Amino acid sequence: MESESTFIAWLRDRLPPHSALRLGPGDDAAVLAWATADDVVVTVDMLMDGVDFELADVDPRRAGRKALAVNLSDLAAMAAQPVAALVALALPRHGGLALAQSLYEGLLPLAERFGVALAGGDTNSWDGPLVISITAIGRPRNGRVWKRSGARPGDVLLVTGQLGGSILGKHLDFTPRVEEALALAERYEIHAAMDISDGLALDLSRLTDESRCGAVVDVTSIPIAPAAVELAAQRRDGVTPLDHALADGEDFELLLAAEPSVAERILAEQVLSGRFGVPITAIGQFVAEPRLWQRDAAGEVSRLAPRGYEHRLD
C-alpha cells in the first residue's frame, strides 16, 4: 500500500534545487527568500477531473502542466515574475501515487522553464475524482502590477496571439504569456490587463466593469485562430469562427489597455513577434459609455453580449 510519505520521499528526490527556496517540501511550511521591499503577488486555481479536463481522455502529465500553466497565466496578467508554487492534490484512492507522479512529470518542465520553485503542498486521497489546486507566488517586475481597473476611455484595446477553438488542444498545451508580459511591462506603460480564461467578450466585460468604462470591439480586427476555423468546420452548428474567437474560453492570451500613442509604438515595434513569435493586435477602443459594443465591417455598431464560460453556482 503506497502512502503520502512514499510520494513525498519521491517528490523530494525529484525536485530540482531553486535559489529562492530556503526550505522546501518536508517541513511544516516552506521558506522562500524574499527581498523585503517587494510586494507578493499570489493566485490560486483549482482544476477538477470532469470539468477542466477528462482524465479518461487526457494524459495526466498534460493535466498537471495545465494546472500550473493557468496560474502562471494569472501572474502574467499582473506582470508578475513567477517565483514559487504550492500544489494541493486530492487523488482518487486507486492508482493515486502513479497519478501524482505523472502530474508532477507534466508540471515540472514548465516550472523549470519559468524558474518556479515547487515549495510544497498537500496530498490527500479520497473516493472522488482528481482535484488539483495550485497556488502560485510572484513578484512585480517593476515594483508595480497591472490591474484590471486602469483602462481609460480613449485607450486602445490590444490582444496577444490568436483566439478561438482552444478545445482542439491549446487549452491543455498553451504557453502562459509570462515572458511576453514582462517584456511589455519593461518597455511600455500599460493601463490595464487581464488574461483571457473564460472568453474574450466575457473577460473584456470584467475588465471594463473594473475600469468603470465600456469598449467597442472591431470584430473584423480580431485575430481568429486556425483552430476556431477548424472547429466551426467540424461542428457545422452555425457557430462561426468569429463566434468562437469571441466566446471560447481558455485561450490564455492577454488583453491590454494602453493610450493611443503607446499602443501605436507597441504595434509598430511588435517586440513579442521577434522574441516569442507572438503577434499583438489592436481590436478596439475603450469608451466612457459602459457595456460592450461591436463594430462590424460596414462600420455598424451594436451591443456585444458578454458571452463565455462561467461556473454555475446555483
Instruction: Catalog residues that contact Mg ion under the rule CB under 5 A.
Output: 74, 195, 197
Nearer to Mg ion, 166 or 197 (CB): 197
CA–CA distance, 231 with 60 (Å, rounded to integer):
24
Q: In the block, which residue shows the cell 518597455?
A: 187
CB neighbours of 200 closer than 8 A, spacing ≥ 6? 159, 163, 217, 222, 245, 246, 247, 251, 255, 308
Residue 209 DSSP SS3? helix
Helix and strand element counts for the chain (H, E): 10, 13
Nearer to Mg ion, 21 or 151 (CB): 151
The vertex-177 CA angle with 172 and 178, nearest 5°, equals 120
Task: Name the region of 107 (left: φ>0; alpha: ψ -120 to 50; beta: rest).
Answer: alpha
Minimum CB distance to Mg ion, residue 77 (Å):
5
Nearer to Mg ion, 197 or 211 (CB): 197
Nearer to Mg ion, 49 or 195 (CB): 195
* Other Cβ atoms within 10 Å of 209 Cβ, number: 15
Nearer to Mg ion, 99 or 184 (CB): 184
Minimum CB distance to Mg ion, residue 298 (Å):
34
CB neighbours of 273 closer than 8 A, spacing ≥ 6? 279, 280
Minimum CB distance to Mg ion, residue 212 (Å):
19
Minimum CB distance to Mg ion, residue 194 (Å):
6
Minimum CB distance to Mg ion, residue 171 (Å):
14
Minimum CB distance to Mg ion, residue 238 (Å):
30
| The pairing of beta strand 254-258 with beta strand 192-195 | antiparallel
Minimum CB distance to Mg ion, residue 70 (Å):
8
User: Sign of the C-alpha dihedral, residues 102, 107, 109, 115?
Assistant: negative
Nearer to Mg ion, 198 or 218 (CB): 198
Buried b (16+ CB within 10 A) or exposed e, 259-274: beebbeebeeeebbee
Nearer to Mg ion, 197 or 285 (CB): 197
Q: What is the DSSP letter of 202?
A: H
